[in-house]
Amino acid sequence: MEPDTEATYADYVRRSWPSLVRAAVFLGARPHEAEDLAQTTLVRCYTGWGRVSSAENRDAYVYRMLLNCLRDVRRTRWWKDRQHDVALDGPRTAEPDATDRVAVADAVHRALGGLSKPNREVVVLRYFVQLTERQTAEVLGIPAGTVKSRLSRALAHLAADDHLLDLTGGTR
């Protein structure tokens, strides 16, 4: 890679790393797995930087790569044999003044976990990654109307989710 191109790639990595990791977490990966997925995605970006940088919508192209990496990992035998109820990397300690943020983050993760995989993907890409409906459709390879209908169903499900209702003090 030429020095100018490599500098452009490095700048892209610095800007996109946090949102790629965050998107992977919200798609259901554990934090250390999310970092691995983001790294794998960015390695694939490096090897195909010509295609990535010339893509009409670079972010949609890269988030599609992230989803493909996640799906590849989930197809492996290791993933299928993994225990889902094992605690994450040991106990988590939060600063006393951050308890509300921790409670909100936990409730959001639990609520997103209750969505079907296609609906969770749409919500994460649309609201957490902040792609447009058109970009989300491009990433997922579905029509924009399908994005809208999945969002509608997902938001209705989230509105009635007990984890989120506990935060607001609401009732069903």
Return contacts of 135-139, CB within 8 angstroms, 24+ apart: 135/57, 135/59, 135/60, 136/60, 138/57, 138/60, 138/64, 139/60, 139/63, 139/64, 139/67
Determine the pLDDT at residue 87.
Answer: 46
Determine the pLDDT at residue 101.
Answer: 73
Query: Stretch 153-172: mean pLDDT, rounded?
Result: 74
Confidence bin at 170 (pLDDT 50/70/90): low
Q: 25 to each of 110, 113, 149, how far by Cα in Å? A: 12, 11, 23
Q: Is the pLDDT of residue 43 over 50?
A: yes
Q: Is the pLDDT of residue 38 over 90?
A: yes
From the number of C-beta atoms within 10 Å of its C-beta (0-12, 13-18, 19+), residue 115 rates as buried
CA distance 36 to 54: 25
Determine the pLDDT at residue 136.
Answer: 92
CA distance 92 to 77: 28
> Between 1 and 167, where is the model more confident?
1
Confidence bin at 66 (pLDDT 50/70/90): very high
Determine the pLDDT at residue 116.
Answer: 92
CB 109 within 8 A of CB 166: no
Q: Is the pLDDT of residue 93 over 70?
A: no
Chain centre to alpha carbon of residue 159 = 20
CA distance 146 to 60: 16
Confidence bin at 146 (pLDDT 50/70/90): very high
Confidence bin at 77 (pLDDT 50/70/90): low
> Between 83 and 72, where is the model more confident?
72
Nearest CA to 62 out of 37, 80, 88, 81 is that of: 37
pTM (two decimals): 0.60
CB 31 within 8 A of CB 88: yes
The domains of the chain, with CATH numbers, are 1-92 (1.10.1740.10), 95-172 (1.10.10.10)
CB 98 within 8 A of CB 90: no
